[in-house]
Each structure stands twice: as structure tokens, then as C-alpha cells.
Amino acid sequence: MIDTAFFITSFVTLFVIIDPIGLTPLFVALTQGMSVKQRRAIAIRATLVSAGILALFAIFGEALLGFTGISMAAFKIAGGILLLLTALDMLFQRRAKRREDTAEEDDDLDDPSVFPLAIPLIAGPGSIATVILLAGAHSGFSGLGLSLAVMVLVLLVTFIFFEAATPLERLLGKTGINVVSRLLGMLLAALAVQFMLNGLQDFGLLGIAPT
């Protein structure tokens, strides 16, 4: 039987790593100019895709990475590179320009649901490692059940925050969104570099023992 304190601790850990509060303004920036319906579809798709990825790693865990020959360090570096590309798009407003160029073709609007929202922002190296650790925290199906329950709860909270994106966009206005988008682009670039540094550190290439 898993005690309540451990469940709460697990929830807080995954919540902090995924950070739905911090993802909300990023979601606003990535879906700038979209309708409520489009945003809801993107939020649902991003949540479901990330849930599937996290569930896959919770069930198969390190065995899956080992089978494919991929280490968590390599995963961190790859996630950092992908995130850096998104950060550059946000900094130079290339994403917003693409939307303006295709504004009359709704189906062709840039869709950030799978990348970068689901991967690597929600289902990134940190959250993947966390669900793997939670699944292995207890023997049998109890650990797996805990990992999946915590994951579903955190992703539900994330979806609720995404649903508040439209009122937030109205509050900030177009100028405010542009400012926030560039600021978040800088933060994303720093986070991307940190991902890559952590991966290099795990490989032992920085001369620092991995933590």
C-alpha cells in the first residue's frame, strides 16, 4: 500500500519538473493569434501525446532506452538542441511570421502540439526520468500505478492551465505577447543549453562528476 505522503511528494516532484504554470505563457506565445477552438485542440493533442510518451517510459522504463541504445544523457542533449531551435524561432519572430503568411489557411497553421509542447517541454528528459524512477520506486504494479496516476493528475492540471491561455492573451495584448515571447525565447535558450550541459556532464565530458 502506497502512503499518501509518498503520493503527494511524487505529485509535487513531477509538477515542479513539468511546471504547468511556467508553460502557460509559453503556450500563449506558441499559439499566438489562434482561436479558442484551435488552442483547445492543440492543448488536448499536446496533453494526450505527452501522456502516451510518459506512459510508455513508465511501463518500459530503462529497458526501452537500453534496447535502442539511447542513454538519458543523449536524450538530454537531443532535447536541448530541439528546444534551442524553438527558442531561436521565438526570439526572431519566425514562428509568428509563418502564421501571418498562412493566416487564410487554418489547416496549415504552425502546430506546436507535438513539438515543442508535448516533446520536449512536457515529456522531456526530466519528466521521463521522473516517471521511470516513480515506476521503479515500488515493486510490482504499485509503482507503475503510482507513476501513471501522478502523471495523469499533473497533465490534467497542465491542460487546465492551457485552457486559461486565451484570457491571458487578452490581458497581455499583442505588444505584451511579443515581449513575453522574446523573453521566453531567451529563457528557453538558456534552458536548452542547460539540458545539453547536463547531458555532457552525465557523459563526463565536462570534467565534473554527474550529480
Q: Can you tell me the distance from the alpha carbon of 153 to that of 170, in angstroms, rounded to the nearest whole number? A: 28
CA angle 168/156/134 to nearest 5° reads 130
Looking from the CA of 18 toward its CB, the CA atoms found within 13 Å total 33
Q: Can you tell me the distance from the alpha carbon of 211 to that of 198, in angstroms, rounded to the nearest whole number? A: 9
pTM of the model: 0.71
Residue 158 pLDDT: 95
Q: Can you tell me the distance from the alpha carbon of 162 to that of 156, in angstroms, rounded to the nearest whole number? A: 10
**pLDDT tens track for 75-131:** 778 878 877 887 887 788 665 555 445 444 444 457 899 998 999 899 988 898 888
Q: Which residue from 76, 92, 96, 89 is spatially nearest to 192, judged by alpha carbons?
A: 76
149 has pLDDT over 90: yes
Residue 211 pLDDT: 46
Mean pLDDT within 16-22: 84
**pLDDT tens track for 88-99:** 877 886 655 554
